[in-house]
Amino acid sequence: MATTSYKKNYRCVPSLEQFYSQGSAVAVSSDGSFLACGCDDKIKIVDSSNSSIIKTLEGDSERVTALTLSPNDKFLFSASSSRLITVWDLSTSKPLRQWKGHEGSVRGMTCDASGGILATAGEDRLVRVWDVDGGFCTHNFKGHEQVVTSVLFHPNPHQLLLFSGSDDGKVRVWDLVGRKCTYVLDKHFSTVTSLAVAEDGYTLLSGGRDKARFQFPFTLIYYDTLETYVLVFVCISSFKYGYWCLSVVNLWNLREGTLKKTVPTYEMVETVCVIHSGTHFYSSLGLNETSTAKKKESSPPVIFLTVGERGVVRIWNSEGAICLFEQGSSDVAISSNKDELKRGFVAAVLMPSDQGLLCLTADQQFLFYSLEQSVEEAFCLKLSRRLVGYNEEIVDMKFLGDDEQFLAVATNIEQVRMYDLASMSCSYVLTGHSEIVLCLDTCISSSGKTLVVTGSKDNSVRLWENSSCIGIGTGHMGAVGAVAFSKKKNNFIVSGSSDRTLKVWSFDGLQDNGSEIMNLRAKAVVAAHDKDINSLAVAPNDNLVCSGSQDRTACVWRLPDLVSVVVLKGHKRGIWCVEFSPVDQCVITASGDKTIKIWAISDGACLKTFEGHTSSILRVSFLTRGTQFVSSGADGLVKLWTVKTNECIATYDQHEDKVWALAVGKKTEMLATGGGDAVVNLWHDSTVEDKEEAFRKEEEGVLKGQELENALSDANYIKAIKIAFELRRPHKLFDLFSELFRKKHAEDQVDKALQSLGIDEQYQLFEYVREWNSKPKLCSVAQFVLSRVFSTLPPKEIIEIKGISEILEGLIPYTQRHFSRADRLERSTLLLDYTLHGMSVIVNDYQMVNPHFNILMKKQRRCWEKFSIQNNQTPLQRQNSCPQRNASRGNPKKVGK
C-alpha cells in the first residue's frame, strides 16, 4: 500500500474582499479596465474583470463621498466627509495636493475634457470650479436653495457651460466665461439625480426622483409639461396600492432655456445615459436605417437609457416618448417574499469601446451587461458578470460542480450566491428564502445534476437545481441551522433545527420534475438534543448521521429511522461542528471549549484531544484520507493538524474576525474560508511547490557560493559583496568589509559596491550594520561601512528607504558610546605622552610632533592646581610638587621619581 504524503503548507489567495461600501462613490476608467470605488475611508482600485483589488489608497479617516477620474486616467479626484479634496497620482498611489473645498460634504464631482478644471457640488448649496494644478477656486456659484447633488461639464470644451442639479428640483446652467447663471430649469418636483447632454450639444436631459401620486379612481391626470396636452385616464396596470406614480425625464433646449419634451418613466430615475449614434447599442436597436430614411430635422430624436428603483434597464426614444426596450425581469435580488421590495439600481454607466453597460445596485452589486442578438428580440441585454462589493458576514459555504469550479456562499442575507472561481464573478443567485440562510450543502445526484440544499431562519429547507428551487421542506418550528446530503445514494437530506429536532427528507423523483416546486416529505423525525443543533454529518455509507448541539453532546443516529447509536460526552461547551472520518469508524468534533476531539463510534470513547486554538473552534474537516484535518475558530486562525502525532503543522492568520465557514474540495482538497470580516480566502496545497522551491534555492545557493569563492580568489570584492547580499550571508559580508577595512585605499571598491546596491539591499545593509555596531569587537568595521555609506549615498536617497528611521535610532546610542570610549582612549594616550615628556623620556621637540600636547599640558596644570588647593597646600608646596615645573627646572631628583 502506498504511503500517504502529508500536506505541509497551504498558500492563501484572497479572492473576495470588500471593495465598495453602500452609498459611496464609483468612477470608471476611460477604457473600462478598472473601477475606483469608495470603501469607507479608503479608495480601492479594482480590476473590473475579476474584482481583484489592484491597489488601495489610504484616505483621511473619513468616508469617501465623491470620486472622478481625469480623462487620461492618470489622476483620481476624491472628496470625503472631512471636506478635503484630494488629487491622487495613480502611478505612485500618492496624493499630489489637497485643499478644503466646501463648508459641507461634497456630493458630486466632475472633471472637464481637458483634465485641468474640476467642478464640485456641495451640501453647502454651492457649486465651485477649481484649477487642478494650482488648487485654487476659479468660480463660486450660488443660487441653489438646497443640497447640490449632481454637476456636469458640457462635453464640448468650446462651450464653457456647467450644469448642476439640486434637491430643490432645479437645474441651473452656469456660464463659466460670464461667471453667471444663464438659465434656471424648474420642472422637477424632487431631487435631480442625473444630468446628460445629447449628441447635438444643445439638448440637456435631467432625471429625478419625482413621484406625483394620484388616488384611484377619482382622479384624471392633466400633465401640462408634455409636448401634446393630453388627458390621461388612470389604468389598473399603473397602480401600486391604489396610487398612480409618475416620474419623468425632462429634455431642455439649451439655446433658449426652455423645456422641449417630458418623458414619463413611472419610476424614480437614478441615472440617465445618452446613447450616441455609431455605437453598438445604437445600431443594435435598429435605428440607423430609420434615422437615415427620415429627413433632416432641426432637433433629431434623442435615444437615452434610464435605470431606477425598479431594477430594470429601459431605453427610450424622445420622439413620442416611446420605450424602445425594457428588461423582462430584474436581475436585482428580491429582499423579502412578504413585501416584494427590490433593491433597485442606484447608478449606471455606458462602458467605453462598446463594452456594454455597468449597473450598480443598492445592495452593492456591480452588474455588467453585454449586448446579445436573439431570435425573438432584435435587442437583448445579457448579464455577463456580477461583482459583489460587499458580502457581509459569511455564514457557510461549499464547493460546487463536477470540477468544483463554483463556490456557494451563504451570508447574512436571504440569498445564496454562486461564485465562479475562475473569474470570482457571481454567476447566479438562489432567491426564495424570506429570512437569512444559515447553512447549505451540495452534491452531485445520480443523474449527474448539481444540487444544493439550504436551511434558513424562515424554518424551511429548500432544494435547488442550478438557480431554480425544486423542493421545499416545511415542518420545523425553529430556524434550520444544519443540513446535510446523503453521501452515497444522494436521495435524502437530513436537517437540524433550533427546535432541537432532526428530520430526514426524501427527494426521490423531484429532479425529474423541475417545472414546479414540490413539497419534500419527512421520512423520520426525532427529538435529538436539549438545545439548538449546530451541525450535521452523514457517514460515507449513508448508514449513520451525527449531530452536534449546544447541549455539549454529539449523538450518532442510525438511518433512516433515526435510532440512537451512541452519545458522545466530554466537551465542556457547545459543539459547533461534527464530521465522520472517510476511512475509520470515528467522528471528529469541534467545540466552544477550544478543543477538538476524535471519538470511536463503537463505544463513544474519546480517542484523541487536540488543543491549540485560543477561542471557540467553529469548523473542522478531514484531509489526506483522514490522516490530517484542518480547523478554524473564533480567534481568526486556520490550523493544519496531523492525527497520528497530535501535531499542529501550520497556523495561518489571514482573517480579522471569526472564521465561520470552512469548505474543503473533495477532489482537489482546496480550502475556502470565510467569516465575520466578509473576506473569502482560497487556499491551495503548496507542499510540492514549496519542496521544489526549497530544492531550487539550495541548488542556486551552492552555485552562488562557488561563485562567491571565485570572486574572492580573484580579489573582485565588488562582485563578492553583491553575491553575499543575494545569499543573505551577513557573516561573509562582515569578513569582506573587515578585509577591505585593513587594506589601504580600499574606499573606492567599497563605494562602487555600495552604489550597485538596490533599495532592499541598502535596507538590509543598514540592518547588518546595526547588528555589528552593537558589539564592541565588530563596531570598527560597522563605523567604517557607515562612513562610506554616508559619503557615497545622498541623504535624500537614504531618507526614502522605508523603515530607515527605526534603524538609525538604533545606531545612534551605540555610536555615541563608541565615540565616548574612543575619546577616553585618546585622552589616556595623551596623558601617557605628557608623563613621559615630564620624565624627559620624550625629546623636547615632541611638542612639534603632537599639536595636542600644549593643550593637554595646560589642562593638566589646571587640574593639578585644583587638586592642590582642595588638599590645603601652600603656594610654595604647590610649586614644588608640580611635576611640570620640576621638569622645566631640570631637577634630576624630581624627574627620577
Q: What is the 3-state secondary structure (H, E, C) of 252-271?
A: EECCCCEEEEEEECCCCEEE
**496-532 residue pLDDT tens:** 999 999 999 988 766 555 567 888 989 999 999 999 9
The domain segmentation of the chain, as residue ranges, is 197-218+242-283+301-390, 391-684, 727-820
**435-445 residue pLDDT tens:** 999 999 999 88
The mean per-residue pLDDT over the stretch 362-382 comes to 80
**445-483 residue pLDDT tens:** 877 888 999 999 999 999 999 888 999 999 999 999 999
The answer to whether 573 and 587 are in contact (CB under 8 A) is no
- Top mean pLDDT of 331-340, 411-420, 587-596 is at 587-596
Q: Which residue has the higher pLDDT, 296 or 834?
A: 834
The mean per-residue pLDDT over the stretch 222-243 comes to 37
Q: How far apart are CA 242 and CA 245, in angstroms?
A: 10
Looking at domain 197-218+242-283+301-390, its CATH class is: mainly beta
- 12 pLDDT above the threshold of 80: yes
- 852 pLDDT above the threshold of 60: no
Q: How far apart are CA 234 and CA 617, in angstroms?
A: 61
- 284 pLDDT above the threshold of 50: yes
- 845 pLDDT above the threshold of 80: no
SS3 at position 602: coil
Q: Could you tell me how far CA 136 lies from the centroid of its own chain? A: 33
pLDDT of residue 880: 54
- 33 pLDDT above the threshold of 80: yes
The model's confidence at residue 842, banded by pLDDT at 50, 70 and 90, is low
- 831 pLDDT above the threshold of 80: no
Q: Could you tell me how far CA 67 lies from the centroid of its own chain? A: 18
pLDDT of residue 510: 64
The answer to whether 658 and 636 are in contact (CB under 8 A) is yes
* Burial annotation 836-848 (CB, 10 A radius, 16+ → b, else e): ebbeeebeeeeee
Q: How far apart are CA 498 and CA 457, in angstroms?
A: 9
User: What is the overall mean pLDDT for the chain?
Assistant: 84
Task: Tell me if 197-218+242-283+301-390 shares its fold with 391-684.
Answer: yes
Report DSSP state, residue 302: -
The model's confidence at residue 61, banded by pLDDT at 50, 70 and 90, is confident
pLDDT of residue 219: 38
pLDDT of residue 752: 81
Where does residue 23 fall: left (phi above 0), alpha (psi -120 to 50 degrees), or beta otherwise?
left
pLDDT of residue 814: 85
The answer to whether 421 and 405 are in contact (CB under 8 A) is yes
- 844 pLDDT above the threshold of 60: no
Q: Which residue has the higher pLDDT, 830 or 375?
A: 830
The answer to whether 31 and 352 are in contact (CB under 8 A) is yes
**189-225 residue pLDDT tens:** 889 999 999 999 999 999 998 864 444 443 334 344 4
pLDDT of residue 55: 92
The mean per-residue pLDDT over the stretch 607-612 comes to 95
Q: CB neighbours (10 Å) of residue 322?
A: 11
Question: Angle 57-369-336 (CA atoms, 0-180°, nearest 5)?
Answer: 85
Q: Roughly what angle, to the nearest 10 degrees, separates helices 730-742 and 759-773?
A: 80
- 231 pLDDT above the threshold of 50: no
The mean per-residue pLDDT over the stretch 78-104 comes to 92
Give the bridge partners for 101, in sequence order: none
Q: Which residue has the cell 441551522?
A: 481
Return phi, psi of residue 283, to 5°: -70, -35
Q: CB neighbours (10 Å) of residue 290?
A: 11
Return phi, psi of residue 874, to 5°: -75, 160
Q: How far apart are CA 173 and CA 136, in angstroms?
A: 22
pLDDT of residue 1: 41
- 897 pLDDT above the threshold of 70: no
Q: How far apart are CA 736 and CA 716, in angstroms?
A: 11
Task: Tell me which of 73-77, 213-217, 313-317, 771-775 is least confident.
Answer: 213-217
Q: Which residue has the cell 444522494?
A: 490
Q: What is the 3-state secondary structure (H, E, C) of 328-380?
A: CCCCCCECCCCCCCECCEEEEEECCCCCCEEEEECCCEEEEEEECCCCCCCCC
All three cell numbers of 47, joined, read 480590476
pLDDT of residue 885: 47
Sheet strands (E) in 372-446: 381-388, 394-400, 406-411, 416-420, 425-430, 437-444
The answer to whether 506 and 523 are in contact (CB under 8 A) is yes
Q: How far apart are CA 240 and CA 245, in angstroms?
A: 8
Q: Could you tell me how far CA 874 lies from the centroid of its own chain? A: 85
The mean per-residue pLDDT over the stretch 105-123 comes to 93
**666-719 residue pLDDT tens:** 888 899 999 999 999 999 999 888 888 888 888 888 888 888 888 878 788 788
Task: Give the total residue count for the chain.
Answer: 897
Q: Which residue has the higher pLDDT, 894 or 482?
A: 482
Q: CB neighbours (10 Å) of residue 655?
A: 22
* Burial annotation 379-403 (CB, 10 A radius, 16+ → b, else e): bbbebbbbbbbbbebbbbbbbbeee
Sheet strands (E) in 457-539: 460-465, 468-474, 480-485, 492-497, 501-506, 518-519, 521-527, 533-538
Per CATH, the homologous superfamily of domain 391-684 is YVTN repeat-like/Quinoprotein amine dehydrogenase (2.130.10.10)
pLDDT of residue 242: 39
pLDDT of residue 394: 94
State which amino acid sits at residue 125: R
Q: Which residue has the higher pLDDT, 520 or 750?
A: 520
CA trace torsion 271, 277, 281, 282 (10° rounding): 110
Return phi, psi of residue 598, to 5°: -110, 130
pLDDT of residue 222: 38
Considering the chain, what percentage of its residues have pLDDT values greater than 90? 49
The answer to whether 497 and 515 are in contact (CB under 8 A) is no
